[in-house]
Structure 1
C-alpha cells in the first residue's frame, strides 16, 4: 500500500494553442434539474453537464420521485410537482453545497422526515443562516452533529411562508435554496437580505430559472428584498450554456502563452458573473472574439509576456479568484484582486490556499484583509518562470487544483499536485481538453516512481 497519496506530475511547456471544449454550466444544469423536478410534467434540459455534483443533484431529485432519463445531449425529466414523496430517507449531497442547501429547504415540504448529509468537507461548511431562515418560515430542522452544520434531520410537514432574513455576504446558495422552496409554501415568502449581497449573479440565475418555470418573483432595485408568490412549477425546456468558471482555466492558460485558442460551447450572452474572466484577459491585452452563432470564443494572444499593473474587484465572480491568482503569478508588475471574502466559506479558504501554494512556488504574493478575513491578494511579479519542482496541495478543493495546474505550466521543472481526481466535481474532461491544447501530465502513484522522478530531475 502506498504511504503517500497519488500526485500529478505537471510538465512545463513552451507553447499552448489549439481548440478545446468548455464544459456546460454546473449552476445552470443543477437549477434546471431542480425546476424540472418540481414541475408537474415532462421537461427537457439540453446541453447539460454530467459530473459528480450534477449527478448528486439528479440522485437527490430522484429521491423525491422524479424520473430522470439521460440521452445523448439532453435530459428528459418527469417531475413530481407538489407531491414530494421521499423514496429514500437519507439524501447524500456528497460535496455539493447547492444540493445540500436546496434539499435542506425542499424536504420541509415533504410529509415525512429526511436526513440530509454530505462529505467530510461539506460537514464543515457554514449552514446556520439557512436553517435560521427556514425556521422563520415554519420548517422543523434539527442538526444531528455540530450545531448549525450538516447533517440535519428535516421533519417535514410543510412551510408556512412569511418573512425571513438571510445575510448577503455568506453564501448566495442560502437565498437560492429558499427561492426554490418558496413557491410551494402556504403563503407568499419575503426574503430580506441583510448587509452586502455578494455573488448576485447566482441570484439572477436562480430567478431566471424560476421565472422560466412560471413562478412569480419580485425584487426591489438593490435585491435587498425578494418576494415569491405561491405557484406551480410548469414544465419547460432549458438550454444550458458553457460554464465560465470552468472556462476560466482554459482562458487563463491561453493568457499565459502566445497563440490562437478556440473554445467551443461559449456564448457572450450569459448571466454568469464569472463571465468577467473575459474582461480580465481583455485588460491584459488578449484579443477576444465571440461567434454566438457557433457558440465559439476565439482568443488571440500576441504577447510573449503579460505586463502592467492591474486591480480587479471579484465580489460578483468569486469562483474565479483562484484562477486570477494563477494568472497574476505570471504577470510582470502588480496584480491585485479584492472583494473575495466570501471564498473563505467555499470548499476551502481559497485565498489563503492560493497564497500558501503559490508562495511555495516562489511567487511574491501576500493576502489582503478586510474586517479581519482574507478579502484578496496582491502579487508582485518579476515576469520570469519559476523554478518549479515543488509539491502543491489542492486543499481538498477542485478549483484550487485546476488553478495550480495552470500556474505550474510555465515553471522550469515539473510541479507535483495532489487532488487531481477532484476535477470530476465540475470539469470531468479537464485533462483531455488541456491535452488538446498541448499540456502534458501523468500520475505518480508510488514512492518508488516518485523517487525515480526526483533522481532524474537531480541528474538533469
Structure 2
C-alpha cells in the first residue's frame, strides 16, 4: 500500500483526460458482440480490463469464470450476455463488489427458469446457469441502470422480440441513454415507448464500425472542480454535447457561483452519483454557504461507503460536513487545514478527491493507498504532477 505526501499547490496547465470509461465499457461489449475485428482507443483501467477479459471469455465459450475485479459495470452488464452466449457462468470479484445487489435480475431469472447461487463470503462469487428467452419483462430502475443496460445488450441477440418495462423511477437515466446511443452506433436499435417501456426486436446483429472515444467527464470533474477552488486547468478531449451524465459537473459548479451565502443549495445526486465526492469537496470550500446533497444513498454501496468516507476524511482536513442517510449536509469554510494523514478507503474517487483537497489546504497531507486510482484513471497522478501538483511517495516507516 503506497502513500503520497501532497503539497498544498494549485494546479495549472493543460490536461487531456482519458477516454470515457462508461462509454468504453459499452463500446467494448458491442464490438465483441459483432463478428469483425475493431480498433478502439482505450484507457486500460482495472475496470475496463475486467470487461475486456470477460467478453473474451464469453466469446471463447465453455465453462466460463469471469473475474470482475471491483467493476460493478462488468458484473451487471455481462450476466445477461452470459445467459445468451454461454448459458451462464461464474462471476467472481473482490472489495465491496460482493455487497452490491443483484436482486433486480432475480424476477427475470425466475421467469426464464434460470438458476443462480450466491457465495457465502463478503467477496463476490455468483453463479448463474440457464438461457435468457425472449419475453415481456419488468425490472426496477431505482437500484442501478446497469441492470437494464445489461439486458439491452443481450435481448436483441435472441431469436424473438422482447418488451422491457421499468417499474420504478429510473436512477442514472443518462447512463441508460448512453447505452442506447452506443448500441445505435453499432447498428442495434431499441425503441422507447411511453411510460418507461422499451420494445426490443430480436435477431439483430451488432455491426463493427470505427468508433471514436470521447473524453471522460467523470475524471474531468476533478480538474473542473479544482478550477472552482482556485486552480487553472484547461481540460481537453471533452465533447460539449456529450450524453455522459457526469457532464452535470459543469452546471453544478455554476450553481455555487450563482448562489449567495443566505441560500441553502440542494443538489440531487441520484442521476450522477460518481461525481458527488468531488462536488462535496467543492461545496465544503464555499465559505459561509450551506449545501445539502440528497438522493445519493447508492454512494454507500460503491467501492467503499463514500458518504462515510467523504465525511471522515474531509472533516479531518478541517471541513464542516455531516452525514445524511442519503447524502451530506455541508457548511462551507474558506480553507482546509491539512497537516494530517488521510486514507483513500481503497476507492479511486476518494483518492482523487483528496488530492484535489490538498490544493486548498494550509499544510501538506499524507494520502494512504493512492494506487487505487488504477481502477479508472491509472495516470491520474502523472497528470497531477505535470499540472504542478506537489506529490512524492512517502514511507510510513
- TM-score for the superposition, normalised by structure 2: 0.92
Of residues 114, 117, 127, the one that matches 1:153 is 127
Cα deviation for residue 194 of structure 1 reads 2.1
What stretches of structure 2 of length at least 5 have no aligned partner?
none
Equivalent in the alignment of 1:457: none
Q: How many residues align?
A: 393
Equivalent in the alignment of 1:451: none
CA contact (8 A) 2:163 2:197 kept: yes
The reply to whether residue 186 of structure 1 matches residue 154 of structure 2 is no
SS at match of 2:291: strand
CA contact (8 A) 2:99 2:301 kept: no
RMSD: 2.3
Cα deviation for residue 220 of structure 1 reads 2.8
Structure 2 distance, partners of 1:25, 1:179, is 20
Query: Runs (4+) of structure 1 moved beyond 4 Å?
Result: 306-309
Cα deviation for residue 413 of structure 1 reads 1.6
The reply to whether residue 252 of structure 1 matches residue 225 of structure 2 is yes
- Deviation sequence 1:77-110 (CA, Å, 0-9, x none): xxxxxxxx41662111111111111221111123
Equivalent in the alignment of 1:30: 25
- TM-score for the superposition, normalised by structure 1: 0.80
Equivalent in the alignment of 2:275: 320
- Deviation sequence 1:240-280 (CA, Å, 0-9, x none): 1111010011111111115x431111120100111011112
Structure 2 distance, partners of 1:139, 1:393, is 45
Equivalent in the alignment of 1:391: 341
SS at match of 2:360: coil
Equivalent in the alignment of 1:427: 377
- Deviation sequence 1:168-213 (CA, Å, 0-9, x none): 1111111111111111223322222122211000000111122222
Higher strand share: 1
Cα deviation for residue 140 of structure 1 reads 2.2
CA contact (8 A) 2:141 2:169 kept: yes
Of residues 413, 417, 432, the one that matches 2:363 is 413
CA contact (8 A) 2:96 2:122 kept: no
The reply to whether residue 377 of structure 1 matches residue 315 of structure 2 is no
**Is 269-278 or 350-359 further displaced after alignment?**
350-359
Structure 2 distance, partners of 1:445, 1:221, is 58
CA contact (8 A) 2:79 2:88 kept: no
SS at match of 1:116: strand
Task: Give the 5 Å matches for 1:20-419.
Answer: 20-45=15-40, 47-65=41-59, 85-86=60-61, 89-111=64-86, 114-136=89-111, 138=112, 140-146=114-120, 150-156=124-130, 158-222=131-195, 224-230=196-202, 231-257=204-230, 260-285=232-257, 309=263, 310-332=265-287, 333-368=289-324, 374-383=325-334, 385-419=335-369
Structure 1 distance, partners of 2:6, 2:176, is 37
- Deviation sequence 1:315-362 (CA, Å, 0-9, x none): 211110001011112111112322322222222222222122212222
SS at match of 1:44: coil
Structure 1 distance, partners of 2:78, 2:255, is 40
Decide which structure has the larger Cα Rg and report it.
1
What stretches of structure 1 of length at least 5 have no aligned partner?
66-84, 287-305, 369-373, 448-460
CA contact (8 A) 2:99 2:122 kept: no
SS at match of 1:331: coil
Residues 280, 144 of structure 1: alpha-carbon distance in 2 compared, 3 angstrom cutoff? closer
Higher helix share: 2
